[in-house]
Structure 1
C-alpha cells in the first residue's frame, strides 16, 4: 500500500504555461490523499517559499515537501534536513562561466535571486519566466547556499545541453541537470544528490519502506528519484529517459493525470491495497 507520495510540480502535477498553480481539482486530490492517511510531498527544484503561490495559498497541501532538489526537506511545515552547496564549487563554476558569453551563475539567498559576476545590463536583457534577477554580485557569498542555477541565454536548447556537459566534465563534485525540457537553465546540486535524498529522509522519518513510496516525474532532474523507488510513475509528456526508467505511466500533465492518480491512491489506501493504475 502507498503511504508517501513524492511528486514533481512543473509539467507533472502542474503543466507549463503562464500559470504554475495547482487547480482546485489537484488540491482536492491532495486533501483526499492526506485524509486517507497518505503523506503528500512536492519534490521540486524550486524553493519552499515558491510553494505558497503554486498551491494557491493552501499550506496544508505543501506542509511536507522536498525542495531545492532535495537540499531542503520539510515535514509538517518544519525544516528537518538541509544540505548546502559547497562555496568553492560554486566559485569554480563562476570562474568557468567567465569564458562562456551566453551563460551565468544565479544563486539565491533569503528568497532573492542574484546573478554572479555577470554584467547587469546583460542579465536584464535576457529575462526568463522563472527569475527576476535585479542584482549582480561580484562573487559567491560566504553564507550557505541551497539554491543555484546556471542560466543559458541561447534560445537553442541544445546549447544548454552543451553547457551542462562541459560543466559536468569539469566539476566532478557537482551535478548539472536540465529541470524542464526546452528551457535554458540548469539546476546545480552536490554530486550524487537529488530529490531521492529528501524522499529517503521522509521515508525513514515516517518509518516506511521503499515499496510504500510512490513518485511522479517528467524531466532529467527526476531521474534519480524515479530510478530509486520501485513505484515510479512518468507522465505522458515526460522526456524519453524518464519514461524508460519509470515502472508505471499515466496520462499527460495537462489532463491532470497526476491528480487523478492521487485520487486512485487515496481510494486504494482506504481499501488497504495498491491503486488500480499500478495493478498489472
Structure 2
C-alpha cells in the first residue's frame, strides 16, 4: 500500500515556469484526505514552493526540498544541510570570467520578496532566469556572508558550455557536484547529497519502507530517487534515461498527468484497489 507520494516539481507536477493548477491542488487534497501523505521532492525550497503552490501550504507540509538539503515532515524541518560560504565564493571566482555563467544563491532564511541573490550579474541577465524558473532575485557583487541552503548556476550556450561549467566547478570546488535539472541551469549540491540520500530520513520518521513510497519525476536529478524505491513513475515528457528507469508511466506535465495519477491513488487508497496507471 502506498503511504507516501513524492513528486518532482518542474516539468513533472507542473510545466517549468507555471504554478500549480486548481485541479492539481484538488488531486493533492484527494490523496491527503485518503490518508496518504504527499509532498514535493524538488530542488526548490520553501519560499519558491509557497509561490508555486499559490500559498497552499498543506500541499508541501512534508517533502524533500533543495535536492535533499532540507527534509520537512508535517510542517517541521527534520533535517537541514547548508552550503559552506567559502565553497560558494570559490564557484563564483571560478566562473566569474566565463560568458553566460553566473551563480545564484538562496538563503536559509528568506521571504517572498527576495529569495535569491544573483552574484556578479546584471539585472537584465538575472531577469531572464527569474522569468523562466519563477523566482525573485536581487543582484550583488559578491556572495553575501549569510547561511545558504541552495545555489544554482546559470549557464547559457548549449551542451559544450554546460560541460565546461561542470569541469570548472569540479576542479575549483571538488567538495560539490552540479546536476542539470533543465537546460542552461545547474543545481549545486554537496557530494553525497541528493533527494535519494535524504529519503531514509523521511522513512525513519514515518516508520515506512521504500515499497510504500511512490515517486514521480522527469529529469536527471530524479534518477537516484527512482533507484531507491520500487514504485517510480515518469511523466511522458521525461528525458529518455528517466523514462527507461521508471517502472510506471503517466501523462505529460502539461496535461496534468501527475494529477490524474493522484486521483487514482486516492481512490485506490480508499477501496484497497490498484491505481490504473500501475496496471501497465
* Bigger Cα displacement from structure 2, 34-43 vs 90-99: 90-99
Matched with 1:177 is: 179
Matched with 1:159 is: 161
- Residues 96, 132 of structure 1: CA spacing in aligned structure 2 closer, same or farther, 3 A cutoff? same
* 2:39 pairs with 1:25: no
Q: Deviations over 1:149-208 (max 9, x none)?
A: 111143x3552343234423554321211112x3x1110011121112333222211110
- Could you tell me the TM-score, scaled by structure 2's length? 0.89
CA distance in 2, matches of 1:124, 1:21: 20
Matched with 1:135 is: 139
Give the secondary structure class of the aligned counterpart of 2:251: coil
- Residues 208, 159 of structure 1: CA spacing in aligned structure 2 closer, same or farther, 3 A cutoff? same
Matches within 5 A, 1:242-257: 242-257=242-257
Structure 2 regions of 5+ residues with no counterpart?
none
CA distance in 2, matches of 1:239, 1:94: 29
Matched with 1:13 is: 13
* Bigger Cα displacement from structure 2, 82-91 vs 213-222: 82-91
Q: Deviations over 1:102-154 (max 9, x none)?
A: 211111222431133x254674586542344332142452x331010111143
* Bigger Cα displacement from structure 2, 63-72 vs 204-213: 63-72
- Residues 227, 162 of structure 1: CA spacing in aligned structure 2 closer, same or farther, 3 A cutoff? farther
- Could you tell me the TM-score, scaled by structure 1's length? 0.89
Kept in 2, the 8 Å contact 1:234–1:242? The answer is yes
CA distance in 2, matches of 1:153, 1:72: 28
Give the secondary structure class of the aligned counterpart of 1:179: strand
Dislocated runs of 4+, deviation >4 Å:
121-128
* 2:174 pairs with 1:148: no
Matched with 2:49 is: 51
Matches within 5 A, 1:15-164: 15-17=15-17, 20-109=18-107, 110-111=110-111, 112-116=115-119, 118-120=120-122, 123=125, 128-129=130-131, 130=133, 131-141=135-145, 143-154=146-157, 156-164=158-166
- Residues 269, 169 of structure 1: CA spacing in aligned structure 2 closer, same or farther, 3 A cutoff? farther
Structural RMSD (CA): 2.2
- Residues 205, 53 of structure 1: CA spacing in aligned structure 2 closer, same or farther, 3 A cutoff? same
Matches within 5 A, 1:217-232: 217-232=217-232
Name the count of aligned residue pairs: 273
CA distance in 1, matches of 2:187, 2:272: 38
Matched with 2:275 is: 275
Kept in 2, the 8 Å contact 1:216–1:258? The answer is yes
CA distance in 2, matches of 1:12, 1:71: 20
Kept in 2, the 8 Å contact 1:40–1:64? The answer is yes
Give the secondary structure class of the aligned counterpart of 1:178: strand
Q: Deviations over 1:216-264 (max 9, x none)?
A: 0011221221122111111110011111211111121111111111111
CA distance in 1, matches of 2:212, 2:70: 22
Structure 1 regions of 5+ residues with no counterpart?
none
Give the secondary structure class of the aligned counterpart of 2:148: coil
* Bigger Cα displacement from structure 2, 120-129 vs 64-73: 120-129
